[in-house]
Every structure is written in C-alpha cells, then in structure tokens.
C-alpha cells in the first residue's frame, strides 16, 4: 500500500469497531465490539475494517496489529438479520458488490505491510473464522472453536478466499472436511492440524497476542513486511520465479538501514536498534 494520499482526511472515528493504539511501540488493536451479538459483522463493520487497514497501511505508523473480539467470543460471522436477511432483498449487482467487499477485507489483512495477530477465544465462525484465517498469526485459548459455516446456510464453502487460504494452511484434506461439512473445530484439534499458531492457557489469548505484537513491533519492520509479502506472492509461483523474487528482495533489503544496523550492533556487541528502513 503506497503511503501517498490525496484529499481524503484521516478518519477520526470508526463507528463499527474499536481502535486503540500504543504509539510508543507501534501496536494497534482492533476490537470487534458487539458482544451482545457475539461480535456478528454488519455491512458497516466490513467496510470499516477494510478502510481502516488501508488507512493504517498508508500511515506507516503501525508495526503490528491485534484483531480481537469483545465478550464471550471472537466473531460469530455475518449478522443473521443485518447481513443474511438484508441480502435477500438485494439484486445480483448489489450482492456482487457486497461479496467483493468481504473479499477486500481479507485482501487488506493479507496485503497490509504489518503482521496481523488474531486473538481468538470462544467462537470464530463463518466470516469470523475467515478473518482469523487471513491473519498472520492465530493465538487461541482452549475455549476457541472454529467453524466455516457457509455450506450450512446454502452457500459455497469457498467464501472470502477460504478455499484459497485454508488448504495452504492446513492441507487440502482437512480444508475439504471443514469447508464442506461446516463442523466446529475445537482448539486442541485446531492446534493439531495447524489452524492455530499457538494455544495458550485459559483466558490468555488476548494477553499473549499483545505480547507477540509488541515483540514484532520492536523488530525489523521492513524485513517482516517483505517476508509477509513474499509468503503471499509466492503461494502461486513456480520455484524459479520465487527464487528470483527472493533474490531481488534481499538485494533491496541489503541496501537498507536495518541490515547495516545489524552488522554494527553485532560488531559493537549490543542489541540492534531497528528502524524499519
């Protein structure tokens, strides 16, 4: 995402989610905050999340982001009344607009230049499961359960890029089972099949996600950004193209301040002071 902006001002208030920042370390936390509805998503929540990620990407002030849910669960998916009920009244053109918007949220998570950590407790269902899937890290406590419910409402299991991302995270066999049947996956099984990055103790997902975000924010931000970009870009590349892209990326980073700083710190026997440049 280019940092250059035109006439659009910075958004002062996000009405459909809660944004907090730790400016000292460059960590942002985005909280889905409809606890009475298990943080079910609305049209506005999708649009705010898409636009927020784009805005933070342009600002370049955030070095890591935590995506969390308030209350008893992470996110129960699209609101049955405000999304499913409302879409029944839309024509095909408007339905395509909506489905493209939900996919844009996933692309924004994958393409933003900072790591995204999903802190999952309780339910992560439907679109909520895909939001967690799109994150770079999924930190979950034992209460977490994932369910890709799209076939259970009569839709394809390949919603919001799930049929692209899930096989690459857990393999085609497990992904087929989860997307076809829509059955819930408890935290222990999610850890076994590689769906979560780390299983914490009870009630520890948010705290552990915050710890990881601070660690990432204090590290070499540009190196992390390029690693994330390569992981996404090379999913569909042949080996020769991937190796060439790796070579070009490393050559650029070898001209960076952080690469020189590592050598200076090693020589002077001190911790490096990463600048993200």
**Long-range contact set of residues 50-53: C-beta below 8 Å, sequence gap at least 24:** 50/101, 50/104, 50/105, 50/108, 51/11, 52/11, 52/14, 52/17, 52/19, 53/105, 53/108, 53/109, 53/112
pTM, 2 dp: 0.95
CA proximity to 33, closest of 87, 72, 63, 62: 72
Domains, the chain: 17-218 (3.90.226.10), 221-268 (no CATH)
Q: For every one of its 277 residues, what pLDDT tens digit does the chain have, with 9 covering 90 and above? A: 677 777 778 888 899 999 999 988 999 999 999 999 999 999 999 999 999 999 999 988 999 999 999 999 999 999 999 999 999 999 999 999 999 999 999 999 999 999 999 999 999 999 999 999 999 999 999 999 999 999 999 999 999 999 999 999 999 999 999 999 999 999 999 999 999 999 999 999 999 999 999 999 999 999 999 999 999 999 999 999 999 999 999 999 999 999 999 999 999 999 999 999 9
Strand order in the sheet with 145-147: 123-125, 145-147, 185-186
**d(C-alpha 41, C-alpha 53), whole Å:** 16
């Amino acid at each position: 995402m280019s940092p250059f902006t035109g006439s659009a001002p910075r958004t002062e208030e996000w009405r459909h989610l809660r944004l907090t920042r730790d400016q000292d370390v460059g960590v942002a936390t985005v909280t889905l905050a409809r606890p009475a509805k298990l943080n079910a998503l609305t049209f506005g929540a999708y649009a705010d999340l898409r636009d927020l990620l784009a805005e933070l990407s342009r600002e370049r002030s955030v070095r890591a982001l935590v995506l969390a849910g308030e209350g008893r669960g992470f996110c129960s998916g699209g609101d049955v009344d405000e999304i499913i009920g409302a879409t029944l009244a839309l024509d095909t053109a408007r339905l395509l607009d909506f489905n493209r918007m939900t996919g844009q949220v996933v692309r924004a998570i994958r393409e933003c230049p900072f790591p995204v950590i999903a802190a999952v407790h309780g339910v992560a269902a439907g679109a909520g499961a895909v939001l967690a899937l799109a994150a770079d890290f999924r930190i979950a406590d034992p209460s977490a359960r994932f369910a890709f419910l799209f076939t259970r409402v009569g839709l394809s299991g390949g919603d919001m890029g799930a049929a692209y991302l899930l096989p690459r995270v857990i393999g085609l066999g497990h992904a087929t089972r989860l997307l076809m049947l829509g059955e819930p996956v408890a935290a222990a099984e999610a850890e076994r099949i590689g769906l979560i990055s780390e299983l914490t103790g009870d009630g520890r997902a948010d705290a552990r996600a915050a710890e990881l975000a601070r660690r990432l924010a204090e590290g070499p931000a540009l190196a992390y950004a390029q690693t994330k970009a390569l992981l996404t870009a090379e999913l569909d590349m042949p080996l020769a193209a991937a190796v060439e892209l790796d070579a070009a990326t490393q050559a650029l980073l070898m001209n960076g301040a952080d690469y020189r700083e590592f050598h200076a710190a090693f020589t002077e026997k001190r911790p490096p002071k990463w600048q993200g440049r």
